[in-house]
Amino acid sequence: MATIFTKIIDGQIPGTFVWRDEHCVAFMS
């Protein structure tokens, strides 16, 4: 079951990414 966070990371829900690399993701919604 996907969470709201994984949906934003996967691009299913729009979000503004502040930082993204292979280990960490930071976004605003």
Residue 5 contacts residue 24 (beta carbons within 8 Å): no
pLDDT (tens digit per residue) in 4-18:
999 999 999 999 999
Parse the chain into domains and list their residue ranges: 1-29
Q: How high is the pLDDT of residue 10?
A: 94
26 or 29, which is more confident: 26
Q: How high is the pLDDT of residue 1?
A: 86
The full length of the chain comes to 29
Q: How high is the pLDDT of residue 29?
A: 73
Strands (E), 1-29: 16-20, 25-28
**Short-list 29, 1, 5, 4, CA closest to 17:** 29
Instruction: Classify burial at 28, counting beta carbons within 10 Å of its beta carbon; exposed 0-12, middle 13-18, buried 19 or more.
Output: exposed
Residue 25 contacts residue 17 (beta carbons within 8 Å): yes
Q: How high is the pLDDT of residue 17?
A: 97
